[in-house]
Every structure is written in C-alpha cells, then in structure tokens.
Chain A
Amino acid sequence: MISLSLAPTATWYLILAAVLFAIGTLGVLVRRNPLVMFMCIELMLNAVNLSFVTLARELNDINGQTIVFFVMVVAAAEVVVGLGIIVSIMRNRAVLTTDDLAELKG
C-alpha cells in the first residue's frame, strides 16, 4: 500500500514519461490529420524532456537541463517549418489528410 507521504522517486517520473511517449506514438500512428500528428510529436518531445529533467535531478547534473533547452529550441524550429509546409500544401488542396499526400508533387 502506498502511503500519501511517500515522495515520488525518479522511477515514477520516468514511467510517466514512458506512458506519455507511448500515447504520442499511438497518436502519430492512428490520426490522419497532419496537424494532430504534429501535436503528437510534441507530446513525444515533452516526454523526452521530462525524462531529461528527471535524470538531471537524479544524477545531480545540470547538463540534462541544458539539453532540454536545446530540444525546446529545435522543437520550435521544427514546428515552424512543418506548419509552413502544411500551409503551402493546403493552398492547392481542399482536404487535409495524410492519405492525400502520398506523392511529393504539390
């Protein structure tokens, strides 16, 4: 039985991050809307960030938090480029599902 005074250990945080990552994977595999697929990729990135911060505290090392900073910047750049591609594709097509984007030609 878990008592309420129990402090959550690093294992709990890591398992929560693993569950979040699995949910993000499921979303990328199941959804058909590229915007929602992008959101699921953000979920996976956040799961990895949570693992990094947890291990930074567990191993008493600031480098884990530094990596999270860079991951956030790269995620922002990735979202900007991805949404730009989606916008330029949507100029020419009415429907937006990934099944319609089977060829690279715009």
Chain B
Amino acid sequence: MEFFVFVCAALMILLGAVGVIVRKHPVHAALSLVLTLFGVAVLFVAQEAHFLAAVQVIVYAGAIVVLFLFVIMLLGVDRVENLRTEPLTAQRPLAIIASLGLLGVLVAAIVNGNGVLNERGSGINLPDLQNGSDANTVQLAESIFSQYVVAFEVTSVLLVIAVVGTVLLTRKAKLGAK
C-alpha cells in the first residue's frame, strides 16, 4: 500500500516538476508547481509528518502559488516565453550536463551512504491510542517552543522585516516628491 502511494506521489511530483520547466506560459508553470507541492504533501503524510503536510498545502499551495499568480496577472507578464531560441549558444546542453552530473553525485552519495546514518534520535511519537491523534503536532510544538524558541523568535523578526521591506520596495513615490 505504501508502495502504491509512493509511486503515485512520485509521478505527481515528477510530472509537476517537468511541467514547471517546460511549459511556456508562466501561469501553466505555476499550476504545475501546485501539482508538485501536493505530491510532496502526500509523501509527508506517508512519512508521519502530518502537521508539515497541512502547512505545506496551506502555505505553499495556498499562499505562495497564489502570490505567484497575483504577480503574473498584476504585471501582465503572462506572455508566452519563446523557448525555441536560446540567446547563449551551448548554454542549454551545458545546463543539462551540469544537472545530470549533480544528480549523479547526489544518487552516488545516497547509495554509498545507505545504512551509514543509523544513530537513533529521541524518537518520533506516532499517532495512536496512547499518544492521541495529534501526537505529531504536539511533539513538533514542544520542539519548536522549547529547544528552538530563539530561532522561532528570530524567524518572526525576519517575517516582519520581509513585509516592511517589500512594502518599501514596491511603494510608489509620492506625488511631487523628488
């Protein structure tokens, strides 16, 4: 059963990822991105990361992709990109070679390191009758708000800075101001 889920989710992820880089229209690329993000969320559920799966759907598919679509439509840049002509000759074959090489290095590292990483951590609570159905969320919250509380606060500062900076960047200059 888990094998079936894995194959379906992997097909979703790979189809969406290929769609992002081959579709000419930016809106189509954004919708392919949604397919990939849902596939990743399915794999999160399959690996007992239930809270992260929910956050993945809400934040990525719900907020980030909508932000992309807003920008595409607000700017009117939804023109079809010409993928036939490549201004830099030999750049595309070199890019394919580089990413295939990167893939080869990563897969070799994964296959070589198989079974090496076997130090056991403190454990992940799986949802069952003893832990309750929200065990993953509870454990993640305990981790974030105790061990990583400083990082959590710094992240909130980062978000505030990002919002203020974006407002400053995209603000139109005042009328009459030099």
Contacts and interface: CB of A to CB of B under 8 A. Distances in A.
Interface of A: 4-8, 11-16, 18-27, 29-33, 35-36, 38-40, 42-43, 46, 49-50, 53-63, 65-66, 68-70, 72-81, 83-88, 90, 96-97, 99
Main secondary structure of the interface of B (DSSP, over half): helix
Contact of A23 (B21, B158, B163): B21
Contacts of B49: 53, 56-57, 65, 68
Contact of A11 (B21, B102, B114, B140): B114
Contacts of A84: 165-166, 169-170
B129 interface: no
Contacts of A43: 17, 20, 33, 36
B56 to A, nearest CB: 7
A36 B163 CA distance: 22
B141 to A, nearest CB: 10
Nearest to B168: A84
Interface string B148-166: 1001000100110111011
Contacts of B140: 62, 65-66, 69
Contacts of A19: 14, 103
A77 B162 contact: yes
Contacts, number: 227
B133 interface: no
Contact of A36 (B26, B96, B98, B170): B26
A98 to B, nearest CB: 10
Contact of B68 (A12, A26, A35, A49): A35
Contacts of A54: 47
A58 B60 contact: no
A22 B124 CA distance: 30
B90 interface: no
Given A68-B49, A69-B140, A46 B36 contact: yes
Contacts of B40: 46, 49-50
B99 A23 contact: yes
A13 B47 contact: yes
Given A20-B14, A57-B47, A84-B165, A26 B99 contact: yes
